[in-house]
């Protein structure tokens, strides 16, 4: 295509993204995208300044970018998102031909009253088919998530008491040999590891059975494909494709709630899979009995297998996850206090936790600044404020005195005995970590002490946490209680 044609399309796409994403997100992640000139009429190349930004845009906006370009330039089949400096190979997004994409509005009206947005599969190993080739038959369309995400393996999953049952159940189901239970139903709030475990099951199962048929898709993709098959009057191919799987992975079951026609087909599909003794894994954001709008017979089938929940990660697990993530970045140094800050403040889910670390690293690479506590606080300002529980210095002092069996007056007294001074230093350390109060303000709350005393206390406790297991354990317990 002519360069001017691609540039005009890109201007329109950018305008659409700016309007839908909002100013803050657009400025931080989407505005830096640049269009790379190309002579290929079927391909669009986009570039970002760092690998972290590239990965973020791929994960969050690859499908959207492809659809936006396809609406303006129908001949476009692929969108490549790459890094301007040397880095990982660009992701190649294969666009379905018009014959593969049913009219979403018409299809939804024909079967379900309200459909969720369409998602297309991303496969870095696929190459775009020549334009002259006819559209593939419906039953040869690539499932939503092949190949499985290479990052999501059992080895990379951090295990503790909150997810141990789900982890062990996933490993058992992935093992070769007779199926010990099916289905496996995983449930937790968003971003706590369900998808990671599902992909890990797929990796392990395929490693032992290289020729097995594994399908991994979201419930909304199941719904969309079913609507497409009905519109194409080819439901037989749809059924053959899913029921022929040796391992079927369905994510986010809650999205078919209230969709009667989809639930009918879903029930028959899982019934066939289970009757044939094959493996089935389903995830949702709540336990089966709490899934409103899902038919009771589907819930009953879920109860036949094993239901495993994943609880919210505690402080220790969040900190371990950050350490594990840094193993993949051996040349990068992130100070301990920065990791402690992120782990203590971001506790909604693991995805937000890793996102906060990625943001700090990306900003440091883009600005050339050194990562330290002040830089992390400035970079994550609104994130920390949004995630932080409002902890007061009074609450900290009250909890510390109770924990160490002291009197409230000991927090503000001049006593220097270690039995009093050390808990007081811990309280100052927690006040610096868990509140937004300045050093002078913290000092005043501890009997009018100078800000340098607070600095000394923070440094001393930071040092002792690496040397004294009892001090470290006490700090962890106190932080956990203060987080609620």
Mark the binding-site residues, compressed into ranges. 191, 193-195
DSSP output for 8-71:
HHHHHHHHHHHHHH-HHHIIIIITT-EEEP-S-TTEEEEEESSHHHHHHHHHHHHHHHHHHHHH
Handedness of CA 51, 53, 59, 61 (dihedral sign): negative
Say if residues 54 and 87 touch (Cβ distance below 8 Å). Answer: yes
Nearest to 304 by CA among 280, 328, 331: 280
Q: What is the DSSP letter of 2?
A: -
Region class of 25: left (phi > 0), else alpha (psi between -120 and 50), else beta: alpha
**Residue 317 in tokens:** 């697990």
Handedness of CA 385, 390, 394, 397 (dihedral sign): negative
Nearest to 151 by CA among 450, 443, 354: 354
Pairing of strands 43-48, 34-36: antiparallel
> How many residues are there in the chain?
484
Please tell me whether the peptide bond between 147 and the residue prior to it is cis, using omega within 30 degrees of 0: yes
Q: How far apart are CA 383 and CA 11, in angstroms?
A: 30
Helices 418-434 and 451-467: angle between axes, nearest 10 degrees: 100
Which residue is listed with tokens 């898709």?
A: 217
Q: Which residues belong to the annotated binding site for ATP?
A: 191, 193-195
Nearest to 316 by CA among 285, 352, 353: 353
């Amino acid at each position: 295509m002519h360069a001017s044609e691609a540039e005009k399309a890109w201007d329109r796409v950018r305008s659409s993204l700016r309007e839908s994403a909002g100013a803050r997100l657009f400025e931080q992640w989407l505005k830096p995208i640049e269009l790379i000139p190309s002579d290929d009429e079927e391909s669009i190349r986009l570039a970002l300044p760092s690998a972290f930004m590239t990965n973020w845009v791929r994960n969050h906006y690859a499908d959207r970018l492809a659809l936006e370009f396809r609406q303006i330039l129908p001949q476009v089949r692929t969108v490549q998102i790459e890094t301007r400096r040397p880095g990982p190979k660009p992701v190649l997004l294969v666009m379905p031909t018009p014959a593969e994409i049913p009219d979403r509005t018409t299809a939804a009206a024909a079967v379900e009253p309200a459909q969720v947005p369409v998602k297309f599969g991303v496969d870095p190993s696929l190459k775009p088919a020549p334009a002259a080739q006819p559209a593939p038959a419906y039953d040869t369309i690539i499932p939503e998530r092949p190949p499985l995400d290479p990052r999501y393996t059992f080895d990379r999953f951090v295990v503790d008491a909150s997810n141990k049952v789900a982890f062990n159940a996933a490993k058992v189901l992935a093992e070769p040999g007779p199926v010990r239970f099916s289905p496996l139903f995983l449930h937790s709030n968003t971003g706590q590891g369900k998808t990671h475990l599902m992909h890990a099951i797929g990796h392990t199962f395929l490693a032992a059975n290289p020729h097995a048929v594994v399908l991994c898709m979201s419930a909304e993709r199941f719904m969309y494909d079913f609507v497409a098959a009905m519109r194409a009057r080819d439901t037989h191919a749809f059924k053959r494709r899913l029921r022929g799987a040796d391992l079927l992975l369905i994510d986010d079951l809650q999205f078919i709630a209230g969709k009667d026609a989809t639930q009918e087909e879903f029930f028959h599909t899982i019934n066939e899979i289970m009757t044939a003794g094959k493996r089935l894994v389903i995830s949702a954001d709540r336990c089966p009995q709490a899934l409103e709008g899902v038919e009771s017979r589907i819930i009953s089938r879920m109860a036949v297998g094993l239901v495993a929940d994943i609880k919210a990660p505690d402080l220790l697990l969040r900190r371990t996850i950050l350490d594990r993530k840094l193993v993949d970045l051996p040349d990068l140094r992130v100070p301990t206090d920065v990791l402690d800050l992120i782990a203590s403040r971001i506790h909604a889910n693991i995805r937000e936790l890793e996102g906060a670390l990625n943001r700090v690293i990306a900003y440091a690479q883009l600005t050339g600044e050194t990562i330290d506590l002040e830089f992390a606080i400035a970079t994550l300002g609104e994130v920390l404020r949004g995630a932080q529980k409002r902890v007061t210095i009074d609450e900290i002092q009250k909890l510390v005195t109770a924990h160490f069996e002291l009197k409230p007056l000991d927090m503000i007294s001049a006593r220097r005995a270690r039995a009093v001074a050390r808990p007081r230093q811990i309280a100052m350390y927690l006040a610096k970590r868990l509140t937004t109060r300045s050093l002078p303000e913290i000092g005043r709350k501890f009997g009018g002490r100078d800000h340098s005393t607070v600095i000394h206390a923070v440094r001393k406790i930071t040092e002792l946490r690496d040397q004294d297991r009892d001090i470290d354990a006490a700090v962890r317990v106190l932080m956990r209680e203060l987080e609620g």
